[in-house]
A and B are shown apart, each in its own frame.
Chain A
Amino acid sequence: MAKTKFLVSRYNAARDTKPYLQEFKLEIPQGATLLDCINLIKWTQDGTLTYRMSCRSAICGSCSMKVNGHARLACKTQAAEAVIDGAITIEPMGNSPLIRDLVVDLEPFFDSIDRVKPFLVPDDSKQWKRETLQSHDDYRKIEDASTCIMCASCWSDCNVLGVDPRFLGPAALAKAQRFVYDSRDNETRDRIEFLSRTTGMWDCTHCAECATRCPTDAKPLFRIKELRTAAMTYKITDNNGARHVLAFRESVGGFLPGVGGGGLLNENYVPIRSVGFFNLDGILSLIPVGIRMIIRGKNPPILPHIIDKIGEVRAMFRRFNDYRKEYRK
């Protein structure tokens, strides 16, 4: 079998001004994981190659790294399947300061977890001699989030964090979902209010990188959606993100005759409703954005236009409204 090229990112602050790719050649043993291969390189070719690893069974979360541009657990990746044109490119995780080679500083990641009060706050008035009872259905609501192994793959590939490092990030929000939805937790409303602030659940742009990279069932994107559902259920909507959703529903869903409705998205209504009708500063802040859009020719038409399959959009919203009525019963 031919040897595979491993292009591995190297960086040693004592010597290098910036990271560079070093080429190693290795014949991938039958059934070897990427971690097996990296270990072979370290142990037989270059002892200075530096990375984290421990359990090699996808539960400790140590060995996340970028494989061909995307974060993965090296121990969970079959090396042969990662080869592209005879090569595998291995780089450190993104959105994190580099320490050496494939080792990044994880403090910002773990600090993000800390920000969501990541522990159960039980109802102290209830004294349980035995375990707190929790139904199987309630357990299922938090099971997926509880499988998170804190590997930071989602953090690495999150597109929002690249733009705004203050964003809580996908792992912290998934952790937060685990408590917001825990039937035993006593601070649900406080948690949702905190998570509704800027940098919280509404700052996610649904790019789905986190759910794609997540090696477990935690899949942060879906947990973030559940958090938003909780925010609507608790009517915690006094923020741009929640108002944006409401504006969209009002406009497209047709709850505001004259402004939009019946499957029409009024792109002039949505931003103003999102910042709030009486938020003068907020509305004024839209003006520069609007001007830039006009300059680039991206301003929405004054009168809404009708898309081809408007009937399907209307049907979707009808179903949605029926479901909401049903759900409220």
Chain B
Amino acid sequence: MRKHDVVIVGAGLAGLRAALELAGKVDVAVVSKVYPSRSHSGAAQGGVAAAMANESDDSPELHMYDTVKGSDYLGDQDAIEIMTRDAPITITEMEHLGCVFSRDGEGRIAQREFGGHSKPRACYAADRTGHALLHTLYEQSFKYKKDITFYNEWYLLDLIYQDGSARGVVVMDMKTGDIEVIHAKAVLFGTGGYGRAYKITSNAFANTGDGIMATYRAGLPLEDMEFVQFHPTGLYQQGILMSEAARGEGGYLLNGNMERFMERYAKSRMELAPRDIVSRAEQTEINEGRGAGPKKDFIYVDLRHLGREKILEKLPQIRQLAIDFLGIDCIDHPIPIQPTAHYSMGGIPASKDCEVYRDEKGTIVKGFYAAGECSCISVHGANRLGTNSLLDATVFGRRAGKSILNYVVGAQHEPVNEAEVKRKARKRIDDLLYTPSTESANDIRNELKGTMTNHVGVYRTKDGLATAHKKLKELQGRFTKVRVEDKGKVFNTEIIEALELSNMLTYSELIIAGAEARTESRGAHARVDFPKRDDVNWMKHTMASADADGAIQLKYKPVVVTKHQPEERKY
């Protein structure tokens, strides 16, 4: 058994930022299933929001209002206030740590327009802002190498949770296949989102909700899982992200008739309306036969009028992606795109200080913290604004670090039954390796992803959700007989992929269950049969947990409203 004061799972922006806060003060370990520089924070492109007021007047208050409105009033306003208030200092710190930001004429951090933000407040590094931030923190981790123990390419199997406190994690060293326990006074999850369950997705293969599912398996609830953001500009059929910065810099969205159709949906903000609205507009155009291409099933993002120079300077990465994947150079041609599963608003319920809640009443789990996309604090509510995710991960990674430091001083390592927790984890793996295997993981995965994209996507209906739910049950049944050929120990990626698929099958049902119950349309959750937001009955967060028999149990907790009462959301 390995022992540290704090174990952080996930080496993306949230995890590394927290580790930096703790380095040298307590004994901290970071576990990641990939090398830190491979974390999916690095794929974020367009920017990170902060009211720096470099390009125009701006304020944290305005940022807060935009975020609350963008969340369709489901965001908890006390947490949003903290995030927007901490934003400028947090970004300034990142710059001081060496982050390579694009600069304006005065040498300050450059800022650009983004969807749903009323001011140009997206600080950026060309169109690879996440990469710039992630690598800055990774660089710092070399500075503190003596103070942070990295377990790179170790896979999270279980959270050790007992009698109201988290005591460590059970993990697998992928290089050896050995199962080990990391015993800790405090555990932080920064394990990322769950968008991998969709066929069309911008997410990495790694984004399989491992931390979220370890939490759920431990008997703890998950919040607002039905809220999955669909990004308006995923590369056609690939889902690969074409940054919103393309529109922030002035790009147009065109339908098959080459019309700027956003005029009909969000006249004042046009292409820079929030993502839920733009994605629905695109889907409506496609559904009503105005899509582009032979199958009329995509939309164009048109950058030609921006000119070669601006594209090369501000959007080099997305240009290259469109060239590599579709053979299209956006300097001369519009890029075919479609909505793509992108961001998980839901996740592990946590307080403003990242302490995880164990129930809808706000009881806190001792020694357990969550930050970044895996958490639901909830600063994004029903719909996240672009550039608020890098901010969320950085601000709350920082806060988690401070909060954990406070807790760990004076806390003890609580007892762990090593043999027992290892046996449980071993059994899940052995069940996959040594049971009759007739089913193909690939078939199950493909059917799951197709089901989620077709029935639990941009628009949802009662019947579609019911069909999806039935299919999920079938797939979960088939998974118990899944075939894993690789019985080896060293770097067995087949067993890891099977465990990831099992996670996806479990949380997808939570997305569906939450969506079936929520008989309203709010933010990214759009019910065709309940097209209106229902503030009387649904100003509340879903809390999903497993009951004693393993069945899904839905409870609710109210939204925190402080400064801004719900009003009609118009752009």
A-side interface residues toward B, CB under 8 Å?
Answer: 12-14, 31, 33, 42-44, 46-48, 50-62, 76, 78, 99-100, 103, 106, 110, 113-114, 117-120, 122, 128-136, 138-139, 142-143, 146-150, 178-179, 182, 184, 217
A interface footprint on B437-456 (CB within 8 Å = 1, 0 otherwise)? 00011100100000000000
Q: Beta-carbon contacts of B47-89 to A below 8 Å, as 1s and 0s?
A: 0000010000000000000000000000000000000000000
How far apart sit A103 and B442, CA to CA, in the bound complex (Å)?
22
The complex places the Cα of A128 from the Cα of B100 at a distance, in Å, of 16
Q: What is the bound-complex CA distance between A33 and B235, given in angstroms?
A: 14
Q: Tell whether, in the assembled complex, residue B493 and residue A51 are in contact, meaning their CB atoms are under 8 Å apart.
A: yes
Cross-chain contact A47 with B494 (CB below 8 angstroms): yes
Q: How far is the CB of B43 from chain A (nearest CB, A)?
A: 5
Contacts of B100 in A (CB 8 A): 139, 142-143, 146, 178
Interface size on B, residues (CB 8 A): 67
Cβ-defined contact, B142 with A133, below 8 A = no
Contact B135–A146 (Cβ < 8 Å): yes
- Contact code string B315-334 (vs A, CB < 8 Å = 1, else 0): 01100110011110000000
In the bound complex, what is the Cα–Cα distance between A182 and B101 (angstroms)?
A: 12
User: Would you call A61 and B128 a contact (CB within 8 A)?
Assistant: no
Q: B205 to A113, Cβ gap below 8 A? A: no
Instruction: Knowing A62-B34, A119-B98, A135-B103 are in contact, say whether A114-B43 is a contact too (CB < 8 A).
Output: no
A143 to B492, CA, bound (A): 37
Question: Are B42 and A147 touching (Cβ within 8 A)?
Answer: no
Residue pair A217, B139 in contact (C-beta under 8 Å) = no
The answer to whether residues A110 and B491 also contact, given A53-B205, A57-B241, A146-B100 and a CB cut-off of 8 A, is no
Some 13 contacts from A to B, beta carbons below 8 A apart, are: A31-B325, A50-B491, A55-B38, A55-B204, A60-B42, A100-B491, A131-B96, A135-B107, A143-B100, A147-B128, A149-B37, A150-B37, A150-B135
Q: Which residues of A lie under 8 Å from residue B40 when comparing CB positions? A: 54-55, 60
Which 6 A/B pairs are nearest by Cβ-Cβ distance?
A120-B98, A133-B107, A43-B442, A47-B485, A146-B100, A119-B139
B204 touches A60 (CB 8 A): yes
- A47–B490 CB distance below 8 A: no
- Structural contact, A50 and B493, CB atoms closer than 8 A: yes
Residue B538 lies at the interface, judged by CB distance under 8 Å to chain A = no
Question: Are B43 and A57 neighbours in the complex by a CB distance under 8 Å?
Answer: yes
- Report the minimal beta-carbon distance from B560 to chain A, rounded to whole angstroms: 31
Tell me whether B35 is interfacial, beta carbon within 8 Å: yes
**In this complex, what residue of B is CB-closest to A184?**
B98
Cβ A131 vs Cβ B488 within 8 A:
no
Contact with A along B94-136 (1 / 0, CB 8 A): 0111101111111111000000000000000110100110010
- Is B476 engaged at the interface, CB distance under 8 Å to the other chain? no
Instruction: List residues of chain A with CB within 8 A of the CB of B8.
Output: none
Contacts of B442 in A (CB 8 A): 43-44
Q: A130-B108, A184-B98 are in contact. List 11 more A-B contacts (CB 8 A).
A: A14-B488, A43-B441, A47-B483, A56-B205, A58-B324, A60-B38, A60-B40, A62-B38, A78-B324, A119-B140, A131-B91
Measured CB to CB, the closest approach of chain A to B149, in angstroms, equals 14
Are B108 and A118 closer than 8 Å at their CB atoms? no
Give the A-B pair count, Cβ closer than 8 A: 159
Check B240 for interface membership: any CB of A closer than 8 A: yes
Q: Is B484 an interface residue (CB 8 A)?
A: yes
Is B532 part of the binding interface, using a Cβ–Cβ cutoff of 8 Å?
no
- Set B91, B143, B326: member contacting A31, Cβ < 8 A: B326
**B259 at the A interface (CB under 8 A):** no
Given the interface pairs A110-B35, A136-B105, A139-B102, the reply to whether A58 lies near B491 with Cβ below 8 Å is: no
CA distance A132 to B175 in the complex (A): 42
Contact B204 A114, beta carbon cutoff 8 Å:
no
Contact B488 A119 (CB under 8 A): no
Any A CB within 8 A of the CB of B563: no
Is B103 within 8 A of A76, CB to CB?
no
Pick the most buried of B100, B108, B109, B485: most chain A CB atoms within 10 A of its CB. Answer: B100
Q: Which residues of B contact A136 (CB under 8 A)?
A: 102-105, 107
Contact B132 A146 (CB under 8 A): yes
Q: A55-B204, A57-B321 are in contact. Are A103 and B486 (CB under 8 A)?
A: no
How far apart sit A89 and B490, CA to CA, in the bound complex (Å)?
A: 23
Q: Which of A51, A139, A148 has its CB near the most chain B CB atoms (within 10 A)?
A: A139
CB distance from B36 to the nearest CB of A (A): 9
**Whole-angstrom distance between the alpha carbons of A136 and B321 in the complex?**
25
A50 to B175, CA, bound (A): 12
Give which listed residue, B35, B132, B327, B490, contacts A13 with CB less than 8 A.
B490
A120 to B137, CA, bound (A): 11
Pair B485/A46 contact, Cβ less than 8 Å: yes
Chain B residues whose C-beta falls within 8 Å of the C-beta of A12 in the assembled complex:
488, 490
Report Cα–Cα, A134/B106, bound state, in Å.
Answer: 8
